[in-house]
Amino acid sequence: MRRGKKTKKKFVKAAVLIPFAATVLYFSIALFFSCHFYFNTVINGEDYSFHSESGVRKHILDMSDNYVLKINGRNGLTDTIASSDILMSIGVNDELSDIIRGQNVLLWPLSLFGKSEYTIGAMVTYNKEELEKKIDALCFFKSENIRQPRNAYLSDYTQDGYRIVPEDKGAVPIRENIYTAVEEAIDALAEDVDLNEKGCYKDASVTSEDKKLQKECDKLNRIVGTTITYKFGDDTEVLDGNIIKDWLVVDGGVVDIDAELVREYVNSLSRKYDTWGKKREFLTTGGELITISEGEYGWWMNRADETQELIEQIKSGQGGERVPLYMAQAAQYGEDDIGSSYVEIDLTSQHLWVYKDGQLVEDTDFVSGNVSNGNTTPVGIYSITYKERNATLNGANYSSKVNYWMPFNGNVGMHDASWRKSFGSDIYLRNGSHGCVNLPLEKAEAIYGYVEKGEPVIVYGGQTSVPRADKAQEPETQEETETAVPDPAYEQQMPILTEAVLIQ
* pLDDT value of residue 164: 95
Where residue 121 falls among pLDDT bands split at 50, 70, 90?
low
Residue 2's pLDDT is what?
A: 55
Mean pLDDT of 431-441: 95
Phi, psi dihedral angles at 107 (to 5 degrees): -105, 20
Do 360 and 318 fall into the same domain? no
Q: What are phi and psi of 477, to 5 degrees?
A: -140, 165
Query: What are the residues facing 295 on neighbouring strands?
Result: 381
Beta bridge partners of 360: 355
Q: Cα angle vertex 251, ends 249, 257, to 5°? A: 25
Same domain, residue pair 321 and 388: no
Contacts of 56 (CB under 8 A, 6+ apart): 37, 43, 48, 92, 96
CATH number at residue 255: 3.10.20.800
3-state secondary structure 60-128: HHHHHHHCEEEEECHHHCEEEEEHHHCCCEEEECCHHHHHHHCCCHHHHHHHHHCCEEECCCEEEECCH
In a domain, 161, yes or no: no
Mean pLDDT of 240-252: 93
What is residue 412's predicted lDDT score, i.e. its pLDDT?
94
200: enclosing H helix or E strand: none
Whether residue 193 lies inside any domain: the answer is: no
The full DSSP string for 309-330 is: HHHHHHHHT--EEEPPPEEE--
**Residues 312 and 439 both lie in one domain:** no
207, part of any domain: no
CA-CA distance, 262 to 245, in Å (whole number)?
A: 11
Does residue 348 share a domain with residue 259?
A: no
SS3 28: helix
- pLDDT for 504 equals 22
pLDDT digits (tens, 9 = 90+) for 45-64: 778 787 887 777 777 766 66
Helix orientation angle between 303-316 and 259-273, rounded to the nearest 10 degrees: 120
Cα dihedral across residues 29, 30, 36, 38: positive or negative: positive
- Residue 96 makes CB contacts below 8 A (sequence gap 6+) with 43, 53, 56, 57, 120
Residue 461 lies in a domain: yes
Q: In this structure, are 271 and 324 located in the same domain?
A: yes
Q: For residue 160, is it within any domain? A: no
Q: How confident is the model at residue 481 (pLDDT cuts 50, 70, 90)?
A: very low
319 and 432 share one domain: no
State pLDDT tens for residues 315-325: 999 999 999 99
User: Is 323 a member of any domain?
Assistant: yes
pLDDT of 498: 30
- Over residues 232-261, mean pLDDT: 94
Please say whether the beta carbons of 194 and 186 come within 8 A: no
Give me the pLDDT at residue 477, please.
41
Does residue 405 sit within a domain?
Answer: yes
Cα separation values, 177 from 85, 182, 205, Å: 20, 9, 18
Q: How far apart are CA 97 and CA 95, in angstroms?
A: 5
> How many domains is the chain built from?
2
* Mean pLDDT calculated for residue range 439-466: 96
Rounded to 10 degrees, the C-alpha dihedral 430/436/441/444 comes to 140
Q: Which residue has the higher pLDDT, 422 or 55?
A: 422
Predicted local confidence at residue 491, as pLDDT: 36
* Predicted local distance difference test score (pLDDT) of residue 221: 95
State the average pLDDT over residues 465-472: 64
Predicted confidence band of residue 243 (pLDDT cuts 50, 70, 90): very high
| Of 212, 210, 182, nearest in space to 198 by CA | 182
The CATH number of whichever domain residue 455 belongs to comes to 2.40.440.10
Nearest to 409 by CA among 371, 377, 366: 377
Our measurement of the distance from residue 112's CA atom to the centroid of its chain's CA atoms, rounded to an integer in Å, reads 69
Q: Are 437 and 377 in contact (CB under 8 A)?
A: yes
Q: What does the alpha-carbon distance between residue 358 and residue 193 come to, in Å, rounded to a whole number? A: 91
Single pTM value for the model? 0.68
- Average pLDDT over every residue of 153-168: 94
Same domain, yes or no, for 348 and 273?
no
- Asked if residue 275 lies in contact with residue 337, where contact means CB atoms within 8 angstroms, the answer is yes
Tell me, yes or no, whether 304 and 412 share the same domain.
Answer: no
Return mean pLDDT, the chain.
86
Which residue type occupies 397?
A: N
Is pLDDT above 60 for 490?
A: no
pLDDT at position 168: 95
306 and 359 assigned to the same domain: no
Residues 266 and 414 in one domain: no
Share of the chain above pLDDT 90, in %: 66
How many whole angstroms separate alpha carbon 108 and alpha carbon 116?
Answer: 12
pLDDT at 102: 78
The proportion of the chain whose per-residue pLDDT surpasses 70, expressed as a percent, equals 87
Sheet with 388-394, edge to edge strand ranges: 388-394, 399-409, 412-416, 437-439
Range of the domain at 354: 342-503
Domain identity same for 358 and 471: yes
Q: What is the pLDDT of residue 483?
A: 41
The total number of residues written for the chain in this structure: 504
Q: Is residue 171 a part of any domain in this protein?
A: no
pLDDT band at 468 (very low <50, low <70, confident <90, very high): low
Q: How confident is the model at residue 344 (pLDDT cuts 50, 70, 90)?
A: very high
* Whether residue 370 is found in the same domain as residue 312: no
With cut-offs at 50, 70 and 90, classify the pLDDT of residue 28.
confident
Decide if pLDDT at 409 tops 90: yes
- Whether the pLDDT of residue 493 is over 60: the answer is no
The whole-number average pLDDT for the span 337-348 is: 97
